[in-house]
Structure 1
Amino acid sequence: MHNLTLPMQELLLHNQYLKGIKQGLAHTTIFEYIAFKSLERYEFRVKDPEEADLFYVPLFAALFNGLKDYANIDTIIIPQLRAFGKYFDRYGGVDYAFIQMLFSQDNIPITVHQQKTLASMITLGDLNYNYSKYQMRESWRNVNFPLTSNIAQQFEIKPESSRHISTFFIGQINLTDFDTVAAPIREGMANVMRVIPHSIVIDARRYDPITGVYSYNFSRMMSNSKFCCVPHGDGPTTKRLFDTFRTLCIPIVLSDEIKFPFEDLFINYPEILIQIPAFEPDRIPIAMSIPSTKRKLSMKKNMIRVSHLLEQKFDYNIEKGNLMWGWLWVHYFKLSTVAASKRRTLLQSRYLD
């Protein structure tokens, strides 16, 4: 593996990521930085690009959300890669890996068009389930990864009676910035939750200094909740899902298009969450009533069991069962096919003489 560094990206990571780490507020998309630092120390990293099977490009694309012109793949990034040498064009970019820990949209470096046409391997923070199911040739290159939770993992499973909130949600209800289906899903969910006894719904306004999410001690409220509703957000995935695993609050997911990280590979999600149709919030009370006490206990134990795989750690070590180990394994299967083609030396055919 060869680790490329682009000057603008290196400057940005210090300004955006490192300050947050020092303050204990890891950015939602911090995996881009963790991957960069981990691969710097990777034992199979090579200095000679001729020996590399995979070229990792620390793009830090999520930090250019709304600023695509400063990290445009076609006009800025690929020309820099070509200036580095012949390697990007040698195999059409199939042996390159990019990470963008947000969903693709029009004003971010890896747009929907790039997601479909860029030959390189792409790690995204959000991936549409139907896309991964019906666009198999394209999605073979793509993988989605967990967003960062800043909440410390709970390992002690408290008695059910100590969780006094029946179901909990915090977030913006009238969410219309990117995905038009988010608002009706959230409004329907909130209306149902408000009539459930002992439930809490907090309509936290984004970027508002008074009613913003971080004005509330929401991690404590989640830790004292039996269930946490997780609706469709700006994209199918939402950061709050990963907060539920950390607080052992059983998530009820209302997002039809969500693609879970490591789904059916390392994690069996029916063992740690409940999913109901996004536009059928009336099922929330039913979903709350179905799991037995034994089942709830099992789900929480499984959340703890997968916590190591989902945790964003800042020791930058690659060890069995952690997040970077998972990233490398996912890419290993793809890379094996690419590397086999790159390394093969064909004999001259006698039919071409």
Structure 2
Amino acid sequence: MSSTYRLAIVGTGGIAHLHADELRKHVPGRIELVAAVDPDTARLDAFKDKFGVARGYASIEELLANEELDLVDLCTPPVAHAPGAIAALEAGVGVVCEKPPALSLEEFDRIAAAAAASTADFAVISQHRFGSAAERVRNMTASGVLGRLAVAKCDTLWFRPEEYFAVEWRGRWETEGGGPTMGHGIHQIDTLLSLVGPWSEVVATAHRHRRRTNTEDVSHAIVTLESGASVVITNSLLSPREVSQIRLDFDTATVELDHLYGYGDDDWRIHPIASAADDVQRAWAGEPRGQASGHGAQFKRIADALDGRTTPPVPLEEARRTLELLAAIYASAFTGKRVRAGDIDPTSPFYQRMDGSGAPWPDLK
């Protein structure tokens, strides 16, 4: 039997408006938006008026002291994710957190420790995992109809002009955690790992070509998976024709996804080899179908998990695996060394900060 869960959104910027819209469209009566948090009173009041939110607060601490909640939805800049998550978990309130979940592995592990000590759960928004086509690819991989993966690519080719970085927290290691690898490519990289499984090692480069930021504006990585398959990843904020792409070359077919900020079934294509065409096409024509990726799709899964008293997706270990790969890309790019899964432990500077021992370009003041 479904229940109604009380949720508060923390932060009322653009992504919070998207979340509130998705909650209203996709889980009405299941997840109720009851409060919002923002220290900017004018922005908070505008958000409350737009979405009919009764109560607003200046801080998450004030929120937690005054509301009975099932979930807080963290839509703040990344620098506030870990403090907000830990505060909510210590209060016994579940957390849904936008990406990136933390600025570093050290912060993430503190969130994980708070979740382990709490009666509540922590889940990361990874909305592109939940489209029906991605689920179908995972099912086809598990069934063996695609054979083994050999080669893949994962590109986030976006464009952000200089004025995008006029927002104070953007383009700074201390507040955003990184550039397109951390804040933009994470969407596709996380989706990729949900399709192909764990990674084992990476060799990478990162560059600051054009934007006046302290973080990179482009990165490239060659990743070896535990399965032995190889993946090439590019993350860019300098690409005028914007596209997000995943290509998977299996033994019996190539699977391709081209989209930008979200996909439907029609954004995927499959190209089987002749000898396997009938089996591959039969599986591709099957279920599930009709669910676009997006926050609404994940909010439905979160409500289902709460109804079933199970951990909402995406679990901590999978979110950490994605964040560890991002840290390893930076570590390899800035040290010139191959980095293996597990190498970035608490003794590594890249455990504490994504720029670790320092980017190979001067900070801009």
TM-score normalised by structure 1 residue count: 0.38
TM-score (norm 2): 0.37
Which structure: larger Rg? 1
